[in-house]
Amino acid sequence: MRHLAVSALPVLLLFVPTWPARAIELDTLLANMDRASDAYQGMQAQVSWIKYTDIVEDTSTEEGIIKVLKDKKGQVNLLIEFQKPYPYFVSIQGTKVEIYRPRIATVEEYDVSKSKDTLEQALLLGFGTAGRFLSKHYDLELAGEEDAAGEATVKLKLVPKTEKLRESMSGLEMWISKSQWQPVQQKLYGPNPGDYRLYTYTNIMLNSPLKESDLRLKIPRKVKRVFPQR
């Protein structure tokens, strides 16, 4: 009899009702992101940037390592060391952006104080993002749950509320990790239909022991510094 009961178990399970996992609600997602943001101090990860230009059907891909650190004032600074297709560095410290290109021994320096809002929302938005910030600046729509960057995520669609921001970014999609409640992938749509940038972060180490010196460019003395804005 015991053997009969055990062998019948798989058949009996066919008649046990099952319910799909309850989908996360927007308010819950934003609250989880708020808690993750409050604890966020920085991260280190591998990064892939894909740029697609629709009019010429051109796709370019860059890969490297990104380091992000929130300073004592709450400002997010970062350093990206691109390795493919060729090495170069991007440093963002406040409103100062530097691009160091070793192949031509040149550093380009930019002051982005006049476009700080655009910079923060187009690039820095993915680091320590709070749900309260998103709901203030974007119209939000949940777009289901799916895997992205090797993680289970919640997909979120965002449309900027201000016309000024829509001039540079018509919309944004964000994939939020269900384990870390921070973005692991972002897709930014440009003002021209079909154009987009896709940022993907993998092997993320949250709150890794980074120091401010880890985010400084190491530039040889003989490198030329140029100021394209002047």
**Topology of the domain covering 25-211:** outer membrane lipoprotein receptor (LolB), chain A (2.50.20)
Residue 212: how many other CB atoms lie within 10 Å: 11
- Domain boundaries along the sequence of the chain: 25-211
Supply 69's token pair. 């650190």
pLDDT per residue as tens digits for the range 113-132 = 877 666 666 666 788 889 99
Which has more pLDDT, 118 or 34?
34
pLDDT per residue as tens digits for the range 187-219 = 999 888 899 999 999 999 998 889 989 999 999
Q: What is the pLDDT of residue 114?
A: 77
pLDDT per residue as tens digits for the range 141-157 = 999 999 999 999 999 99
| Percent over 90 (pLDDT), the chain | 64
* CA 211/CA 216 separation, integer angstroms: 10
pLDDT per residue as tens digits for the range 8-21 = 444 444 444 444 45
Q: What is the pLDDT of residue 121?
A: 61
Q: What is the CA radius of gyration of the chain?
A: 22
pTM confidence score: 0.84
Supply 109's token pair. 């320096």
pLDDT reading at 40 higher than 60: yes
pLDDT reading at 135 higher than 90: yes
Q: What is the mean pLDDT of the chain?
A: 87
Distinct helix (H) and strand (E) counts, the chain: 5, 12
Supply 8's token pair. 């019948």
Query: Three-state SS for 88?
Result: strand
Q: What is the pLDDT of residue 16?
A: 46
H-state helical runs in the chain: 2-13, 26-39, 116-122, 131-137, 163-166
pLDDT band of residue 2 (cuts 50, 70, 90) is very low
* CA 66/CA 201 separation, integer angstroms: 9
Q: What is the pLDDT of residue 26?
A: 95
Q: Which residues have a Cβ under 8 Å from the Cβ of 177 and sit 6 or more positions away?
A: 149, 151, 152, 153, 183, 184, 204
Which has more pLDDT, 165 or 87?
87
Q: How far is CA 151 from CA 4, 74, 142, 166, 175, in A?
A: 41, 27, 17, 29, 9
